[in-house]
Amino acid sequence: MILLGSCDKKEKEQLKAQVDSLKTELQTSQQTAAQLSEIGTLIDSIDASRQLLRTDVVEGTSYTDYKSRLQSINNHIKDTQTKIAQLEKSLKSVKGGYATTIKRLKADLELSTQQIAALQSEVDRMRSENTSLAKTVTEKDSILTTKLETIKMKEQDVANLEARVEEVNAASKASQADLYFAQAQALETAADRTKFAPKKKKETRREALELYKLSLSLGKSEAQARIDELEKELS
């Protein structure tokens, strides 16, 4: 009897240690997901600001306003680069398939940076052309002097930049869906392989179900099958 009691106590302690470890991993995973989501939101904000600036450039804006807003966008890009670097460093000691997601976020940010650089280059080119044109007219021509401070872009250039923005947004959305799907799979695996009490297994599967639903809402169609199966199991 004493031997059986000792074994039972040891097994309970092992189970408790496994549960604590899984809770810690889940918390870390959720925190990481939140940080990744924040970075994704920052990149979306940068792109939205770029699109608005591009629209104003097409319609006509002062060079002073353009420079101020461009500087603000570049500052946000630097802040986002810092956040990505910090997160990448912290994830080196954490288990999980985040490398692909980080890589995609870095690629998204790099594309936004390139688009901003392209916009700046086009504006500089047109401003230079306007300056050269202004030198050919008299200093009394106030109309041309005003036009010197007005920036306009070609409609085709705008269409090309807009298409690239849509590609960036689609890639960011897909990466977030993949992340939620992977987390849900991890929770299902944890529930199946560990000696959880039935109630705990059910709770873990419910958490997995919610993550699958988030993944589906972002376009991960593979999540539907898992949602259907888990809803049957939990009903």
Note the Cα 6 to chain centre separation in Å. Answer: 50
Return the pLDDT at 158: 60
What is the identity of the amino acid at 155? E
C-alpha separations of 51 from 46, 69, 74, 122, 227 in Å? 9, 12, 14, 15, 37
C-alpha separations of 195 from 101, 111, 201 in Å? 31, 46, 9
Residue 94 — left, alpha, or beta (φ > 0 → left; ψ -120 to 50 → alpha)?
A: beta
- For the chain, the distance separating the N- and C-terminal CA atoms, rounded to the nearest angstrom, is 40
Which of these, 190, 186, 194, lies nearest to 215 by C-alpha position? 186
How far apart are the C-alpha atoms of 199 and 72, rounded to whole Å? 51
Domain ranges within the chain, ordered by starting residue: 32-153, 173-235
Return the pLDDT at 224: 93
The residues with which 62 forms a beta bridge, in sequence order, are: 150
- Supply angle C-alpha 157, 67, 105, rounded to 5: 65
Return the pLDDT at 56: 78
DSSP 8-class letter at 150: B
C-alpha separations of 120 from 63, 134, 135, 149, 224 in Å? 11, 21, 23, 15, 44
pLDDT in tens, the chain (235 residues): 544 455 566 666 666 556 555 565 656 566 666 767 777 787 877 878 887 778 877 777 788 888 888 888 888 888 888 888 887 777 775 555 667 777 787 778 788 888 888 877 877 887 777 777 656 656 556 665 665 555 555 555 666 666 666 765 666 667 788 888 888 888 888 777 766 677 777 888 888 888 889 888 888 889 899 899 888 888 7
Return the pLDDT at 169: 60
Which of helix, strand or coil describes residue 149? coil
Which of these, 207, 206, 212, 205, lies nearest to 227 by C-alpha position? 212
